[in-house]
Amino acid sequence: MTRSVATMHVTNGDSVLYVFRKAGILGTHVAWRDALNEGPVPGGLSLEETSAVRARYLAECGAGNPIKIIHDFQTRDAQLLRAAEFEEVVLWFEHDLYDQLQILQILSVLDTLNLEPGRVSLVQSDHYLGTMTADELAPLLPRRRTATAATFKSALRGWQRVTSPSPQELYAGAQEDAIGLPFLRAAMRRFCEEYPSVRDGLSRSQRHALQAVGQGPARKEELFRRAQGREEAYFLGDSGFYRILNELCDPAAPLVEGEDGALEPTALGRRVLAGDADWLQARAIDRWVGGVHLLGDAVVRWDEDAQVFVG
- Please determine, for residue 1, whether its predicted confidence score (pLDDT) is greater than 50: no
Instruction: Say if residues 94 and 128 touch (Cβ distance below 8 Å).
Output: yes
- Please determine, for residue 5, whether its predicted confidence score (pLDDT) is greater than 80: no
Nearest to 304 by CA among 169, 226, 183, 194: 194
- Please determine, for residue 3, whether its predicted confidence score (pLDDT) is greater than 70: no
Q: How far apart are the first and last CA of the chain?
A: 53
What would the mean pLDDT of 75-101 be, rounded to a whole number?
97
pLDDT greater at residue 302 or residue 62? 302
Instruction: Say if residues 255 and 210 touch (Cβ distance below 8 Å).
Output: yes
> Which residues are paired to 139 by β-bridges?
none
According to CATH, where is 1.10.10.10 located in the chain?
196-310
* pLDDT band, very low/low/confident/very high, at 297 (cuts 50, 70, 90): confident
According to CATH, where is 3.40.1360.10 located in the chain?
7-190
Q: Rounded to an integer, what distance in angstroms lies between the CA atom of residue 156 and that of residue 162?
A: 10
CATH number corresponding to 7-190: 3.40.1360.10
The alpha carbon torsion through 2, 7, 13, 16 (nearest 10 deg) reads 0
**For the chain, how many helices (H) and strands (E)?**
12, 12
Q: How far is CA 16 from each of CA 9, 44, 63, 129, 133, rounded to the nearest angstrom?
A: 10, 30, 21, 6, 10
What would the mean pLDDT of 93-108 be, rounded to a whole number?
98
Does the structural domain 196-310 have CATH classification 1.10.3470.10? Answer: no
What would the mean pLDDT of 73-88 be, rounded to a whole number?
97
- Please determine, for residue 100, whether its predicted confidence score (pLDDT) is greater than 70: yes
Instruction: Say if residues 99 and 127 touch (Cβ distance below 8 Å).
Output: no
Q: Rounded to an integer, what distance in angstroms lies between the CA atom of residue 193 and that of residue 205?
A: 8
Task: Supply the pTM of this predicted model.
Answer: 0.95
Average model confidence (pLDDT) across the chain: 95
Instruction: Give the helix/strand (H/E) hosting 95.
Output: none
Per-residue pLDDT tens over the stretch 178-197: 999 999 999 999 999 999 99
